[in-house]
Amino acid sequence: MRCLIDCDPGADDVLALLFALQRVELDVQGIVTVAGNVPLEEVTANACGVVELTGRNLPVCAGSDRPLVKGRYHASEVHGESGIGPLKLPQGLEHRVNTNFIDFYMEKLFATEEKTTIIALGPLTNVALLLRTRPEAMERIEGIVFMGGAYGTGNVTPFAEFNAYVDPEAYKIVFDSGLPVTMVGLDATHETLISPQEIANLRANTPESTFIKDLLTWYCHNVMTVYGYAGSHMHDPSAIMMLVHPEIFRTFDASLTISTQEDYTRAHILVDRSAPRKNVTVTSGLDNEAFKSIFFHTLEKYLSKEDL
């Protein structure tokens, strides 16, 4: 599957990238960053660092540094000021391309007749701007799979998930695009849970596997401290999982709209399962044991051959 990853790394985005780059099903053509979990410079540096850590030769292009309408909104209390807490990634600055992100998208989308899937792990600002300014891009997009949103309880307000809350205007553009869209929201991702003990049991004997274990350890502790959970949810890796193992998810098709009002309903997603035109495939849950088995097995590929 030919794909581009649009993300705001962020601890769980970093884990999602590490997961995606070990999946042979995914032909990742590049990474576009967007301000979200932390500001644009930090998320772009983290994306470059992941590419360098994994030894890949992938271009990283910086995208939007703010939402379409509202001011910047970040989640440094969860991800730390750098996006990955006290951890450090290699620099990897040579992977950053000095190209406008719209031009980067168009170059990659039109490089071949094969259509490309966009995997969006952060706010949908970049994707919305692409669709609004270059509508011809839609003929080369296979579909959009994004992590974000919730039709149940949010995590920023009782009604809104973080990525949706950052830029609901962008969500509206994507929902109304007519493209095949899949939402991997909190209703599914909150069914993932990795415990501190499971993380402690992970082996680590390479720079990559050591970083993964250290990041999971820090992120899990921080999430438990901030939210009081019994472990850490793997939000962004769930969007990657939906592409490579959709059979472990429960889904339904529905018509989705999102509130862009400046009140307590902002970024609340309304679901109409009976509408004649259904614009989004919605994930409603998943098999956590299957998720963990696949996730850990994939990340074990970063161990040395002797330890497999």
What pTM does this model have? Answer: 0.97
Catalytic option among 235, 245, 268, 297: 235
**Residue 301 reports pLDDT greater than 60:** yes
Q: pLDDT digits over 178-194, tens only?
A: 999 999 999 999 999 99
- CA pseudo-torsion sign 65, 69, 75, 81: positive
d(CA 17, CA 7): 9
Burial of 77 (0-12, 13-18, 19+ CB in 10 A): exposed
Who wins on pLDDT, 307 or 29?
29
Domains and CATH numbers, the chain: 2-307 (3.90.245.10)
Q: pLDDT band for position 59 (50/70/90)?
A: very high
Mean pLDDT within 7-16: 98
Mean pLDDT within 119-135: 98
Query: What is the pLDDT at residue 112?
Result: 97
Query: What is the pLDDT at residue 307?
Result: 58
CB count, 10 Å around CB of 94?
11
To the query of whether residue 297 is one of the catalytic residues in this protein, the response is no
Q: pLDDT digits over 134-149, tens only?
A: 999 999 999 999 999 9
Mean pLDDT within 239-254: 98
Q: pLDDT digits over 176-232, tens only?
A: 999 999 999 999 999 999 999 999 999 999 999 999 999 999 999 999 999 999 999
**Residue 237 reports pLDDT greater than 90:** yes
**Residue 306 reports pLDDT greater than 80:** no
d(CA 84, CA 80): 6
Q: pLDDT band for position 304 (50/70/90)?
A: confident
According to DSSP, the β-strands at 280-286 and 249-258 are: antiparallel
CB count, 10 Å around CB of 178?
10
